[in-house]
Structure 1
Amino acid sequence: MKFLKPNYEFEHFTDVSLDFLRNHNVKAIFSDLDSTLAAHDELGDDEFTKWHEKLESNGVKLIVVSNNSQGRVDRFTKPYNIIGNGMCGKPLPSKIKKIMKEVGVTSEDSLFLGDQLFTDVLCGKMLGMKTVLVHPLGEEHEPWTVRWKRGLEASIKKRW
């Protein structure tokens, strides 16, 4: 059960503040995309833009790691010049370990941000990172496979 329980749980990605990041020595955020930073197939909004600008101006790297297609990831990340990786195979950590090496960060100075226990939190835990679970954005637009997993996640959360 401990591999599915996040270290922290917030309402929204913007709740991951600069103070929080400084207090936890975070230099890089590895983040899921859909339902975490934006609703499925949506682009970044003003809230995301402001949050990302704060991260960037304070030297915190944001790296998008998604199980969605590279095309979807590119549509979201390119306008912000963010490193974005699709088809990551979460919760398996192998592709993300390689990305960590490429950007020069460690598990100790990284954080994994996501909206799902079985992919994001589990992957972050397997990488030895601090994990933050956020409430999903645009749940009504999620594919049925994700909505189905939400029921399983709810039953696990009751046991915490």
Structure 2
Amino acid sequence: MLERFYPNEYLDSVYDIDFEMYYKQGIRGIISDIDNTLVPHGAPATEEIVALFDKIHKLGIDTCLISNNQEPRVEPFAYAVKSKYIFDAHKPSTKNYRKAMELMGTTPKNTLFLGDQIFTDIWGANRAGVQTVMLKKIDKKEEIQIVLKRIPEKFVLWRWRKKLQKTQ
């Protein structure tokens, strides 16, 4: 039952992702959350994240940012990293994951999702059939509704790790 919430991979940072490997595996589109996935909540795009997106694009991978935030937050960030974007996405609804793939011309088989929350980001991407990479949150400071979701999220990740240990 909890499997629907499990990420395919769990890493410390977006900078730990082997994008070349994913490209070789056929990934041609990346859908990503912004806040606490790429930068601290509310922060602008950093030089490092702009350089990372440039590297991803040079590999031949398209990108689309998908956020539950409003356009004034998402549009300037997307502009800075030269990415397509969807704001007010209503994650975990699958509608805008599918829209992101449509914008990039990709399918669930050749799309990767990056996010920091199980019950919005990862669950929505899993339901859309997209491979997922969950990243540790960047900033401890979060809105109360997110803090409350982090409690059951810890249990889900604990179960996921136990399952991984059994299969190894």
Q: TM-score range by the shorter chain?
A: over 0.9
Cα separation, 1, equivalents of 2:89 and 2:97: 7
Q: With structure 2 as the length reference, what TM-score do the two structures score?
A: 0.89
Paired residue secondary structure (2:10): strand
Aligned counterpart, 1:123: 124
RMSD (CA atoms): 1.3
Cα separation, 1, equivalents of 2:30 and 2:3: 21
Paired residue secondary structure (1:63): strand
Aligned counterpart, 2:48: 47
Question: Equivalent residues in 2 for 1:117-156 (5 A)?
Answer: 117-140=118-141, 142-156=142-156
* CA offsets 1:73-111 (integer angstroms, 9 cap, x no match): 012111232111111111110122123223211000001
More helix by share: 2
Aligned counterpart, 2:88: 87
What amino acid is the match of 2:104?
V
- Decide whether the 8 Å contact of 1:14 with 1:47 is kept in 2: no
- Decide whether the 8 Å contact of 1:27 with 1:59 is kept in 2: yes
What amino acid is the match of 1:61?
D
Tell me whether 148-157 or 104-113 shows the greater mean CA deviation.
Answer: 148-157
Cα separation, 2, equivalents of 1:91 and 1:63: 16
Aligned counterpart, 2:163: none
Tell me whether 13-22 or 53-62 shows the greater mean CA deviation.
Answer: 13-22
Question: Equivalent residues in 2 for 1:1-160 (5 A)?
Answer: 1-140=2-141, 142-160=142-160
- Decide whether the 8 Å contact of 1:29 with 1:62 is kept in 2: yes
Q: With structure 1 as the length reference, what TM-score do the two structures score?
A: 0.93
Question: Structure 2: where are the runs of 5+ without partners?
Answer: 161-168
- Decide whether the 8 Å contact of 2:89 with 2:96 is kept in 1: yes
What amino acid is the match of 2:26?
N
The Cα shift of 1:38 comes to 0.9
Question: Structure 1: where are the runs of 5+ without partners?
Answer: none
The Cα shift of 1:10 comes to 0.8
The Cα shift of 1:5 comes to 0.6
What amino acid is the match of 1:145?
Q
- Decide whether the 8 Å contact of 2:29 with 2:104 is kept in 1: no
Cα separation, 2, equivalents of 1:76 and 1:21: 24
- Decide whether the 8 Å contact of 1:4 with 1:122 is kept in 2: yes
The Cα shift of 1:50 comes to 1.8
Cα separation, 2, equivalents of 1:157 and 1:110: 23
